[in-house]
Amino acid sequence: MPHTIIDIKPHCNRCSFKELCFPLGLEADEFAKLDAVIRQSRRLKKGEYLFRAGENFTSLYAIRTGFFKTAVNTQDGRDQVTGFFMSGELVGMDGLGNKTYTSDAVALEDSEVCELPYYRLNELIEHFPKLSMHFLSMMSKEIIRDQNVMLLLGNMRAEERLAAFLLNLSERLNMRGFSPYDFVLRMSREEIGSYLGLKLETVSRTLSRFNQEGLIVVDHKHIRILQAKKLETMVTGCNISSE
């Protein structure tokens, strides 16, 4: 496993994103137990796969730092980016159902993840049944996120999709204490396009137009949002929210 280092005991308590991984109020003893289970931290270089579609499901992963995309692929080579994930978000939930991952997860920058091995998850739930409701809740939120992507793909025009995408990123960065109006895109135009059901040229053109219209400033991967309000009115209906 190249570029991979296993650390021992990263401790959730020292992680500034713990409340993002486990947003619901946990009792002290429950949290301590959880912390003990998440004992492995894994580092990935940009471009490395965290898991691949078809592999046996081994773990859920909470992202500690960095940025990931997940994608499903078809037999004929097409693929669809199904999500972008940042600190405090959970990936791998699609693997639980059939004990096999159905998507790829790829690091889009050097990243660090906290691993929740499946067998330990089992033990944990056995001993702390209340915790299982937290996991059900997080999976439910993933379903809600997916519903919103369906809404976007099924109903919205190119500029609405882009606006929704930028605002969603903005909101999630804000929640993590980063600037919501000045950030660097971690993914390529092609990956944005795949996620939004558009071709990369359309993504590029639409961003350029937003730039001309003074809604945003685009400097390659660097984005500054100037008129968030106008972007919001563009996405009238869609209530995309991070998780």
Partner DNA sequence: CGGGAGATTGATTGTGATCAATCTTCGTGG
Partner DNA sequence: CCACGAAGATTGATCACAATCAATCTCCCG
Listed ranges 4-12, 129-137, 178-186, 206-214: which one lies at the site for a copy of itself (CB under 8 A): 129-137
Residue 199 touches which of a copy of itself, DNA, none (CB < 5 to 8 A by kind)? Answer: DNA
Can you tell me whether residue 214 is helix, strand or coil?
coil
**Closest to 243 measured CA to CA, from 40, 15, 17:** 17
Which of 122, 208, 239, 241 binds DNA (CB under 7 A)? It is: 208
Decide if residue 229 touches a copy of itself (CB under 8 A).
no
Which of 198, 216, 225, 231 binds DNA (CB under 7 A)? It is: 198
Decide if residue 217 touches a copy of itself (CB under 8 A).
no
* Beta-bridge partner residues of 114: 41, 62
Decide if residue 194 touches DNA (CB under 7 A).
no
Which of 147, 179, 208, 212 binds a copy of itself (CB under 8 A)? It is: 147
Decide if residue 149 touches a copy of itself (CB under 8 A).
yes
Which of 49, 133, 157, 232 binds a copy of itself (CB under 8 A)? It is: 133
Decide if residue 218 touches DNA (CB under 7 A).
yes
What is the full DSSP assignment across 106-173? EESSSEEEEEEEHHHHHHHHHH-HHHHHHHHHHHHHHHHHHHHHHHHHHH--HHHHHHHHHHHHHHHH
Quickly list H helices, 176-215: 189-196, 200-212
Can you tell me whether residue 221 is helix, strand or coil?
coil
**Closest to 207 measured CA to CA, from 169, 143, 159:** 159
| Binding stretches for a copy of itself (CB under 8 A) | 72-78, 80, 82, 93-98, 102-103, 122, 125-127, 129-130, 132-133, 135-144, 146-151, 153-155, 194-197, 236-239
